Amino acid sequence: MAGTALLGRLSERLRWRACTLVEERNETSSARTLVFDVPDWPGHFGGQHVDVRLTAEDGYSAQRSYSIASAEAGGRLELTVQRVAEGEVSPYLIDQLAVGDQIELRGPVGGWFVWQPEQTEPVLLVAGGSGLVPLMAMIRARRAAGSRAPFRLIYSVRSPGDRIYLAELRRLDPGLDTTFLYTREAPDGWPRPAGRLDAEDLARAGWPPDFEPTVYVCGPTGFVEHAADLLVDLGHDAERIRTERFGPSGG
C-alpha cells in the first residue's frame, strides 16, 4: 500500500503539466520573474525546483531546471530567470514568452535542499547571483508560516544593479538579517571593498559553528564549492551544509 502511494506521488511529480504565464516583472536589467498558473499543483517546499520543457513546432525541445521562487500558494508558481548570454532557454523565457503563453513544467524536484516550517534551528543562507532564488523561497515560506527560526542571508552579487528582490529584502523581516557583498563594484562609501566572498565575511555575517545552523548555499558551481570549503574550514559540520549548483563556474 505504502509503495503504491509513493509511486502515485512520484508519477504526479514526473508528469508534465501545461501551465500558463499570467504575470511577469523585471527584477534587474537581466533577470525577470515569471508567474505561472499551474493546474493541480501538488505543493512544494522552499528550495525545490521544477524542470521546464519548451517544444518548438517542428518537435525540437529543450529542458532546463529553475528553482521555485515563491512560497507555496495554491496553483501559482513564480520562477526568476537570469539571462545567460548566448543561452538557448533563458533569453527565450525572458524576451519571448508573453502573458497567456504556455510552457510545460514538472515537479517539484528535490528533497534535500529544502527548508520546512517545522525547522526551528538557526539558518544561514549563502547566495551567489541568481542562487538567491530558492533561498528567497525559504525566506518567503518562513514569513508565510509565521516561523521564528532565526535566518541570516549573505548575498553576493557583482554590482548593486544585480540585486534581485531588492525592495522585498529591504523590508524589515523580524529575525532575518541580510548582508550584501559585491564582487566587482560596491556602492559608494560601502565599508567592505568589492571582492570575492571570504572566511571573514562568513564569520562576521553568518552564525558561529557552535550554534549548529543549517546552511544552504546556492549559486554558480565555483561559488558554491568555494563557500562550502570556507564553511568547513571555519568549523561548520559538512553534514549541515546543503548545496545547490546552478551551472558553470564564474559570477
Name which of 21 and 150 has its Cβ closer to ligand FAD. Answer: 21
Closest to ligand FAD by CB, 50 vs 181, is 50
**Total number of residues that touch ligand FAD (CB under 6 A):** 22
Q: How far apart are the first and last CA of the chain?
A: 48
CB of 134 to ligand FAD, least distance (A): 7
Residue 2 neighbours by CB distance under 10 Å: 6
Cell numbers 561548520 correspond to what residue? 236
Q: Binding of ligand FAD at residue 243 (CB under 6 A)?
A: no
Q: Which run of H or E residues covers position 53?
A: strand 49-55
CA 67 to chain centre: 5
| Interface with ligand FAD (CB under 6 A), residue from 66, 155, 182, 223 | 66
Which residues ranging from 159 to 198 are in contact with ligand FAD (CB under 6 A)? Answer: none
Bridge partners (DSSP) listed for residue 190 = none
* CB 125 within 8 Å of CB 214: no
Among 28, 70, 82, 183, binds ligand FAD (CB under 6 A): 82
Query: At residue 222, what is the residue type?
Result: G
| Contact residue for ligand FAD among 72, 78, 201, 244 (CB under 6 A) | 244
- 67 near ligand FAD, rule: CB under 6 A: yes
Binding mask 120-139 for ligand FAD (x = CB under 6 A): ----------x--x------
Stretch that binds ligand FAD, among 3-11, 16-24, 84-92, 180-188 (CB under 6 A): 84-92
Tell whether residue 155 is a contact of ligand FAD (CB under 6 A): no
Q: Tell me which residue of 129, 126, 156, 153 sits closest to 139, measured CA to CA.
A: 153
Phi and psi at residue 29, in whole multiples of 5°?
Answer: -70, -15
Query: Could you check whether the bond before residue 208 is cis, i.e. omega within 30 degrees of 0?
Result: no
Chain residues in the site for ligand FAD (CB under 6 A): 49, 64-67, 80-82, 84, 86-90, 130, 133, 220, 244, 246-248, 250
